[in-house]
Structure 1
Amino acid sequence: MGAAVERHLSGIDAVVATTELLQRNRAMHPTAGMYEAADFQWWWRSPRRTDEYPQLFWFDDDGPVAAAIATAWGEATALDPLLLPDADDDWAESVVGRGLEHAAAHGIGHVELEAVPDGPVERALLRNGFTPGDGGYVEGWIDAAAVPAVSPIADGYSLHRRTDRTDRPHHYIRRSGADVEARLLQTSLYSPDRDLLVEDDEGDAVASGLFWFDPVTQTGLVEPMRTEDDHQRKGLARHLLTSGLALLAHAGAERVKICWSPDNPPAASLYLDVGFVPDRRTRMFAGPTGCVPG
């Protein structure tokens, strides 16, 4: 790789550049890296204190080649170093180190990071004094050819797309805030046609799932999936998931990704039974950036 130029972008411009970087990553390898472009577009759904943070990117003549993205999650801040699959340890060390330095310079004193075991980012974190902690996620994939038939829905429930329910507030408002639909519509990959919800016989949304398709990479992502507590164990999540997978396959997805916590056995059981194949489990790190509080 030739010399890369550092640039700072914020707001939706940073989301656009992150999308380009992760699409470039996926074009180079079908499963490398922890994230899809749709992950960061989903994170854009709610205002965050990092919206105007000057996100750190590196560009070559063809576009972004690396980034260190800070994302506020409540009081915590995650820092995600993003690299292309051909990145070596020296380049990872530079991106991680510069990302920590940049975060510290902007008053972020502590960060949480997720990394692929034995990858260049993890090795850079270990060299910077970070140690792995609890947590991490399992990443699973399913090929479009393996997508199962849509399972039946339980009596008293019905499946809908967001396009069927534009006369009412978005079903994600309760957890993601009043701006959720407007912000999702600012992104390039969100589709109301693949924003699914299950309603009970009173018209209340009791389960939902968002199925993202990236036409640049022919990759699908399921994020998020949720069934309300009082409506679990009725097959709603299976119907929702198989319906969404069918939509993604019809749209042209060659493979679909989903992630789950190892501490959520019911989700793992469903995803494995539907046909997702675990690929790896990430590890979590946390530590100081070097920022000295004022």
Structure 2
Amino acid sequence: MAQPLVLSAGYTARALDPDRDLPDVLDLLTSCERALHGAGATEADRGEVAAVLARPGFDPAADTLLVHAPDGRLAAWAWSDRRCECRVHPAHRGRRIGTALLGWMESRAVEQGVGKLVQVVADLDPVGLTMLRTYGYRPKGASWLLEIPLADLPEPGPAPAGIAVRPFRPGDPRDARAAHRVVEDAFADWKARRMDFAEWAQHTVHRETFTPERSPLAVAEADGRVVGAALSLDQPGSGDGYVESLAVDRDHRNRGIARHLLQHAFRACREAGLSHCTLWTHSGTGALDLYLKVGMTVRYTSVVLEKTLPLP
């Protein structure tokens, strides 16, 4: 079994109950983001946790832990399933809860036969970075949240030759399947594994915050095949739009399709009354230069760290 937790007096741990614990987890995630990025940080949404629970074979009873404080309030949550995440409420830091959960996550990963564990930590969290380095994690890459103000967007130019752009059609399973194919094919070069449709949809088109009207698709005029997609989400409590995924078929790259899709997504966000559009990118994608060239700038950075675990 995974390593038992040693916690400060009065703190208790148990697995997540998805039917009753989700609101408390979302409040904790929002509190952690606001501690790092200020009161304007985006609220957590149910889709974030739903996407974790949708991972193939994920078992909340074995793969999650909640830590409650002596007053019964949620102090921390963690999960481990090839990747992992641990968040400790700002009011309960300094009690070695994060260290205890780190040991549990690693122990659970070894049980699952995972040889390497990846953690992503904001560069504004020096305590978290120092702790992971102390316990043997080493930098593997970086992720950036980029933003663009929407007030003075240039008019998009003509679409690349032979390409038409239209919004995602809500309720049309053909669009959903086509977007899944485009995104997962495009990300296969750097992602550790391919998501099946059900898991992928929980991250994107089946989330409550998915915005099809801000999610343009690029279609080849010759045969009607979807060859590019920019899939967007609403950001509750924020003036930001958010592009969750941007992808173009390999055979249609280097034609300006990605740039054109972004321009359409930006304009759709502006028409919705939003002030900025944001997106995350990872150093493994090689896409940072594209985003900088369309006028985006880095809002903040996270460090991707990895540790090799001793398998039995």
- From 10, 13, 16, the equivalent of 1:9 is 16
Aligned to 1:235: 256
- The answer to whether the aligner puts 1:90 opposite 2:102 as a matched pair is no
Residues 217-226 or 196-205, more deviating: 217-226
Distance 2:157 2:103 in 1: 47
Deviation at 1:280, TM superposition (A): 4.2
- Residues 104-138 of structure 1 deviation map (CA, whole Å, 9 limit, x = unaligned): 257246521122346221122123x2232332223
Residue 252 to residue 36, structure 1, CA distance change in 2 (3 Å): farther
Distance 1:250 1:97 in 2: 47
- Residues 14-67 of structure 1 deviation map (CA, whole Å, 9 limit, x = unaligned): 776654433444555359999965883694596423254442234678975542
Q: Bigger radius of gyration, 1 or 2?
A: 2
Deviation at 1:157, TM superposition (A): 1.3
- From 116, 128, 144, the equivalent of 1:121 is 128
Distance 2:50 2:263 in 1: 21
- The answer to whether the aligner puts 1:245 opposite 2:239 as a matched pair is no
Q: How many residues align?
A: 281
TM-score (norm 2): 0.71
Distance 2:235 2:229 in 1: 20
Deviation at 1:194, TM superposition (A): 3.2
Aligned to 1:69: 79
Residue 54 to residue 275, structure 1, CA distance change in 2 (3 Å): same
> Is contact 1:11–1:51 with CA below 8 Å preserved after alignment?
no
Deviation at 1:142, TM superposition (A): 2.5
Residue 32 to residue 40, structure 1, CA distance change in 2 (3 Å): same
- The answer to whether the aligner puts 1:284 opposite 2:284 as a matched pair is no
- From 163, 172, 196, the equivalent of 1:157 is 163
Aligned to 2:58: 50
Distance 1:268 1:146 in 2: 22
Residue 268 to residue 102, structure 1, CA distance change in 2 (3 Å): closer
Residue 180 to residue 272, structure 1, CA distance change in 2 (3 Å): same
- The answer to whether the aligner puts 1:132 opposite 2:120 as a matched pair is no
> Is contact 1:25–1:32 with CA below 8 Å preserved after alignment?
no
Deviation at 1:166, TM superposition (A): 0.8
RMSD of aligned Cα (Å): 3.9
Residues 174-183 or 216-225, more deviating: 174-183
Q: Which amino acid aligns with 1:90?
A: G
Distance 2:242 2:73 in 1: 23
Unaligned stretches of 5+ in structure 1? none
Q: Which amino acid aligns with 1:226?
A: A
SS of corresponding position for 1:123: helix
Distance 2:231 2:245 in 1: 6
Distance 1:54 1:263 in 2: 27
Aligned to 1:203: 224
Unaligned stretches of 5+ in structure 2? 1-9, 185-194
> Is contact 2:230–2:262 with CA below 8 Å preserved after alignment?
yes
Aligned to 1:81: 86
> Is contact 2:34–2:41 with CA below 8 Å preserved after alignment?
no
Distance 1:148 1:51 in 2: 48
Aligned to 1:22: 29
Residue 161 to residue 96, structure 1, CA distance change in 2 (3 Å): farther
